[in-house]
Homo-oligomer: A and B are copies of this chain.
Amino acid sequence: MPQTWATSGVDLHLELAGRRVRAGLEAALRDAVRSGQLGPGTRLPSSRALASDLQVARNTVADAYAQLVAEGWLTAQRGSSTRVADRVGAADPAAEPAAPPAAGEPRYNLRPGSPDLSAFPRAAWLAAARRALAAAPSQALGYGDPRGRPELRRALAGYLSRARGVAVSPENIVVSAGFGHGLHVLSHVVAARGGTRVAMEAYGQPAHRDTVTAAGLAVTPVPVDGHGAMVAQFGDAPAALLTPAHQFPLGMALHPRRRAQAVAWARDTGGVVIEDDYDGEFRYDRQPVGAMQALAPGHVVYAGSVSKSLAPGLRLGWLVLPGGLLDEVVAARPLADRHSSVIDQLTLAEFITGGGYDRHVRRARLAYRRRRDRLAEALARDAPHVHVTGIAAGLHALAELPAGQDEDEVVARAAGHGLVVEGLRGYGAAGRPDRSALVVGYATPPPHAFTGALARLGALLAAR
């Protein structure tokens, strides 16, 4: 029952219910000190007096005082009275929480970078988690190998060799928390080796540029032409980041001659190629282009993740590393986060070896291919002046706008109609790009919203 306690000139509102008397007393005293109601140095009543006021046992009050002394709220000298500790108390304006980020999902979202999250195989994933946890030894739940669980590295080695032609053994895989995290660790390794910059495609993920520069490295932009990155311009950079299977965001595959050139550059200069195979599972019109890494496993880091094939929220990816880099990455990783979540790792291993991963990727590939075809048809019909490229693979297409259609204006107009699209500009490294285009992520909307999103995009681009 609430009661007000007035003594030593202080009113305290106390909720003293049942067995929670002591906890309630402590909470009330903490609040009073924190709020400044009881100022520094304030002398508290003796435990005997307060116990009598409150009609509780004296020990309850004495214990509460002792607890708050241990926590530093109060001070007590032997044989003297209990007081509010010095310099503790005034409400702390610096502790004010920051404002939450703006919430609210747009009605229609064609932003690139996400698969259809509504297609995440929840039941199959949970079933794999159950099987994985039933089979895992207790020790698996402890601190482990910074490379990741052996079950997952074995499963990945089999999958990547089979599906992507990667030259890989379980021993040279490091499980990461997604591509960006792998790039973070690699950037720190490059910097620790004395490197000062990374060659990066002039169109690419701004977040990746930020990751590299946060490690103290400069970015050397490498122009991209119709054959992909102009790898001859890697120069003497100690590392170069490429998206060979499907340039992000422009969408072409790196020309075979360029692949060979990049490998030759790595062999000649000792530079490291980082192959970002972010959507290698999704190729629609012919067999997937195999990983470039297999051409020179001693010089290429192969990197992938489940962010496009399953869900970015899992934060699981992998690096396949040349022997020379492996030890440095393994040494650098524990300083950041030791290793990835073990239960997720074991679940993914079970999901791959049980065939669930392949089934999911196959289903997703069919669904995205159908979306890709519908996107191409819709724009050919509604906006034939818009040139759609980069659609042989992946989850996004480039919609090149004709002269006179300004990218920013189109993006703004779309937003006014509840449709989120992104312009190419934000992906360019070097100021204003030479073309106006939208980067359309056609995998992003859930199925029920795809038709509506497409209709709005068509209407938007039809109006010139």
Interface, chain A (partner B; CB < 8 A): 30, 34, 63, 67, 69-73, 75, 85-88, 92-101, 105, 113-114, 117-118, 120, 122, 125-126, 129-130, 133-134, 138-145, 165, 167, 169, 171-172, 177-178, 180-181, 184, 207, 210-211, 214, 253, 256-257, 259-260, 263-264, 267, 286-287, 289-292, 294-299, 311-316, 322-324, 326-327, 330, 332, 334-344, 446
Asked whether, in the complex, the Cβ of B181 is within 8 Å of the Cβ of A337, the reply is yes
Q: A142 and B313 in contact (CB under 8 A), knowing A177-B337, A294-B34? A: yes
Q: Tell me whether A130 and B126 are in contact in the complex, defined as CB-CB below 8 angstroms, given that A67-B290, A343-B344 are known contacts.
A: yes
Given known pairs A86-B264, A93-B298, A129-B129, the reply for A335 and B210 (CB within 8 Å) is yes
The minimal Cβ–Cβ distance linking A74 to chain B, given in whole angstroms, is 8
A275 to B: closest C-beta gap in Å: 12
A-B contact sample (11 more), CB < 8 A, given A75-B256, A87-B267: A71-B259, A85-B295, A96-B323, A98-B326, A129-B129, A141-B314, A143-B312, A177-B338, A180-B337, A181-B338, A184-B336
How far does the alpha carbon of A338 sit from the alpha carbon of B207 in the complex, in Å? 10
A88 to chain B, nearest CB (A): 5
Q: Given A88-B263, A294-B71, A295-B73: A95 and B313 within 8 A (CB)?
A: no
CB <8 Å contact, B180 and A95: no
Top 6 A-B pairs ranked by shortest CB distance?
Answer: A94-B298, A313-B342, A92-B298, A97-B171, A72-B259, A95-B297
Asked whether, in the complex, the Cβ of B117 is within 8 Å of the Cβ of A139, the reply is yes
How far is B334's CA from A214's CA once the two chains are assembled, in angstroms?
11
Q: Given known contacts A72-B295, A139-B117, A145-B101, is B336 in contact with A315 (CB within 8 Å)?
A: no
Contacting residues, chain B, for A323 (C-beta < 8 A): 94-98
Closest chain-B Cβ to A143's Cβ sits at a distance in Å of 5
From A172, which residue of chain B is reached at the shortest CB distance?
Answer: B97
Q: Are A178 and B312 in contact (CB under 8 A)?
A: no
Q: B94, B138, B344: which contacts A117 (Cβ < 8 A)?
A: B138
27 contacts between A and B (CB under 8 A): A30-B290, A30-B294, A69-B256, A70-B290, A71-B256, A71-B289, A71-B290, A72-B259, A72-B263, A75-B256, A93-B298, A94-B298, A94-B299, A95-B297, A97-B171, A98-B172, A98-B326, A100-B171, A120-B141, A141-B312, A180-B338, A184-B336, A311-B342, A315-B338, A315-B340, A315-B342, A336-B337
> B67 to A287, Cβ gap below 8 A?
yes
User: Contact between B67 and A324 (Cβ–Cβ < 8 Å)?
Assistant: no
Contact B85 A260 (CB under 8 A): yes
Are A144 and B95 touching (Cβ within 8 A)?
no
In the complex, what's the smallest C-beta–C-beta distance from A167 to chain B, in angstroms? 7
Closest approach, in angstroms, between the C-beta of A67 and any C-beta of chain B? 6
| Residue of A98, A105, A253, A259 with highest tally of chain B CB at under 10 A | A98
| Interfacial chain B residues near A30, Cβ < 8 Å | 165, 290, 294
- A70 engages B171 (CB within 8 Å): no
Is B98 a contact partner of A140 (Cβ separation < 8 A)?
A: no
Q: A67 to chain B: which residues have CB within 8 Å?
A: 286-287, 289-290
Find the B residue at minimum CB distance from A133: B122
Closest Cβ of chain B: how far from A204's Cβ, in Å? 16
- A94-B323, A326-B98 known; A207+B313 contact, CB < 8 A: no
Specify which of A125, A141, A180, A314 lies most central, judged by the most chain B CB atoms within 10 Å of its CB: A141
